[in-house]
A and B are shown apart, each in its own frame.
Chain A
Amino acid sequence: MQKFDYVIKDEVGIHARPAGLLVKEAKKYQSEVRIVKDGKSAVATKLMAVMGLGVKCGDTVAVEVEGADEDAACEGIKAFFESNF
């Protein structure tokens, strides 16, 4: 499993549209991508669950990637977070 922590810099947090883009990004990979915040976790391919985490600006989330292509997936998702959140 690959893992990284990320502090959200976007003013409104993981809001609807970028969350939707994240879903699209996560679906590119075979690996399962999980977003963890305060012990709650959501699979990144599930839009409402991701939005339901209520991730706000300044929050730290842990991103866990597990599966066959986890190295590439982790790198891709990390780059996505950096340019969108």
Chain B
Amino acid sequence: MVKFYGKPVYKGIAVGSVVVLKNEDQKVKRRKVDSPEEEVAKVERGVKMAQEQLQALYEKAVVEVGETSAAIFEVHQMMLEDEDYLDAIYNMIRAEQVNAEYAVAVTGDNFSEMFAGMDDDYMKARAADVKDISNRLVQCVSGNQEDGLNFKEPSIIVADDLSPSETVQMDKKKILAFVTVHGSANSHTSILARMMNIPALIGVPLDLDKIHSGMKAVVDGVQGEVVFEPNEFVCEEAERKIKKEQEKLQLLQELKGKENVTLSGRKVNVYANIGGIGDVGYALENDAGGVGLFRSEFLYLGRDDFPTEEEQFQAYRQVLQTMGEKKVIIRTLDIGADKQVDYFNLGKEDNPALGYRAIRICLKQPDIFKTQLRALFRATVYGNLSIMYPMITSTEEVEKIYAIVGEVKEELRKEQITFKDPEQGIMIETPAAVMISDKLAQMVDFFSVGTNDLTQYTLAIDRQNEKLDDFYNPHHEAILAMIQMITDNAHKHGKWAGICGELGADLELTEKFVKMGIDELSVSPSMILPLRKRIREIS
């Protein structure tokens, strides 16, 4: 039994078996072999097995994310058929009399280096694809069937760190908990863990070479500890806590269908933050009054080309239809900063959080923006859509957005495509927007405060820097004063103001927000009912 401590990001408890995800290459040992032809045959069988896996992945992805996004697996299949690649492996086995795994790994490295050395960012990124197929082939050749992100049973995921696209790719039903060596409380993995009700520990000082897939573990997100190979006592204790948690959840379920109203009768809208179509179910299960933040960038992540207007339209339409009459606020593209996508070719920035991101990309590259706006406007007729623009710092930006929106509407009219005029609002997440919120309130229909970014910009603290977690005080009085100012300015012009950042779900502040006059709180689906409970206790 070994115990480690880490920083909990979601206070849940899980018991189960571990799947270790390693980013680094598998360690393959060079062995001299007597019969190279046997090794060649092993590679041939491995290729066949890998092709079958990729075909299955491709078919799964087509259903789940559509053909365009699934194409990456088709490309992987084609790479695995590549004559040069396979010949290099066979030649190495025969010439050096080495084992199959080693020849595959070395050949994979060589080809991957060729791509990494190219002076084209797109092709550089293909190095990862070659690595990916080589790792798969090594696994198939060595008979190690563990297929990275596609584990069969619900498991506790242990990794060095997880990228947003890795987290997106996983089947959420099969994740019991996350345990990572790195990562910060505000990283996307943490946010996703909170959204999906998954116990998660970050900053756990593990030696990943000593943790193996298949080990049993207990993750306790309340105590902030993870125990590998726990004894009977620890397991029983954990099971008891899980049962208690479930009873608590049961109680919360009883709040379903009740209003979000204080004892003195003030009503607050409680909406859900979602990151994809799959999350709409979570939102409804938890009785969300609407969607307060649909992070549209998830349509752009985990793929290698822009989503088309049609793909986006279908996604938006589906969410709107599923939510029926309920309000759905879709935030336009918020790529950049900690959310990087290769095909945007954004280039490396010294200071991405203060860099080329979100609305700045949309205004500089209006083609990308227009495609999204067209899809959004076409979707307006299928439900109650509001559009929200991120990272606003000036009134000129809002004017520019409206000019582009005007062009899009004109185009649609010419094409005789019907649409409704949606509510249009902005994220307030820069101190600049707070200071001019009086003027902005006259231009838009609503404000939604993105407290994560607003806090990082106001306190000058990088959200991704885990060293600064101790300095990051989300309850800083400067932030609370700003939220008051934003709310007052919205109300002055008859507009509404909400909070869609992490702070909205902070039950210690709920009373304060309600007293400030906040009209809406948009939170992870799992926080909707606890928040309702809290609101109903306020006098």
Residues of B that sit less than 8 Å from A by CB: 71-72, 74-75, 78-79, 81-85, 111, 114-115, 118-120, 122-123, 126, 129-130, 304-305, 343
- The answer to whether B78 and A52 touch across the interface, beta carbons within 8 angstroms, is no
Can you name the residue of chain B whose Cβ is closest to the Cβ of A21? Answer: B78
- The answer to whether A16 and B120 touch across the interface, beta carbons within 8 angstroms, is no
- The answer to whether B74 and A17 touch across the interface, beta carbons within 8 angstroms, is yes
- The answer to whether A16 and B85 touch across the interface, beta carbons within 8 angstroms, is no
A54 neighbours in B (Cβ, 8 Å): 118-120, 123
- The answer to whether A45 and B83 touch across the interface, beta carbons within 8 angstroms, is yes
- The answer to whether A56 and B120 touch across the interface, beta carbons within 8 angstroms, is yes
Is A49 engaged at the interface, CB distance under 8 Å to the other chain? yes
A50 to chain B, nearest CB (A): 9
Select which of B71, B82, B120, B304 is within 8 A of A48 by beta carbon.
B82
B79 neighbours in A (Cβ, 8 Å): 47-48
- The answer to whether B78 and A46 touch across the interface, beta carbons within 8 angstroms, is no
- The answer to whether A52 and B71 touch across the interface, beta carbons within 8 angstroms, is no
- The answer to whether A12 and B85 touch across the interface, beta carbons within 8 angstroms, is no
- The main secondary structure of chain A at its interface with chain B is helix
Alpha-carbon distance between A10 and B286 when the two chains are bound, in angstroms? 46
B83 neighbours in A (Cβ, 8 Å): 45-46
- The answer to whether B126 and A23 touch across the interface, beta carbons within 8 angstroms, is no
Alpha-carbon distance between A15 and B75 when the two chains are bound, in angstroms? 10
Residues of A that sit less than 8 Å from B by CB: 12-13, 15-17, 20, 23-24, 45-49, 51-52, 54, 56
20 pairs across A/B with beta carbons < 8 Å? A12-B305, A13-B122, A16-B75, A17-B74, A17-B304, A20-B74, A20-B78, A46-B84, A47-B82, A48-B84, A48-B111, A49-B82, A49-B84, A51-B115, A51-B123, A51-B126, A52-B118, A54-B118, A54-B123, A56-B120
Alpha-carbon distance between A16 and B115 when the two chains are bound, in angstroms? 12
A52-B114 CB under 8 A given contacts A12-B343, A20-B75:
yes
- The answer to whether A23 and B122 touch across the interface, beta carbons within 8 angstroms, is no
B75 neighbours in A (Cβ, 8 Å): 16-17, 20
- The answer to whether A48 and B85 touch across the interface, beta carbons within 8 angstroms, is yes
Alpha-carbon distance between A23 and B129 when the two chains are bound, in angstroms? 17
- The answer to whether A15 and B115 touch across the interface, beta carbons within 8 angstroms, is no
Alpha-carbon distance between A52 and B122 when the two chains are bound, in angstroms? 12
Alpha-carbon distance between A20 and B58 when the two chains are bound, in angstroms? 15
Select which of B84, B114, B129 is within 8 A of A16 by beta carbon.
B129
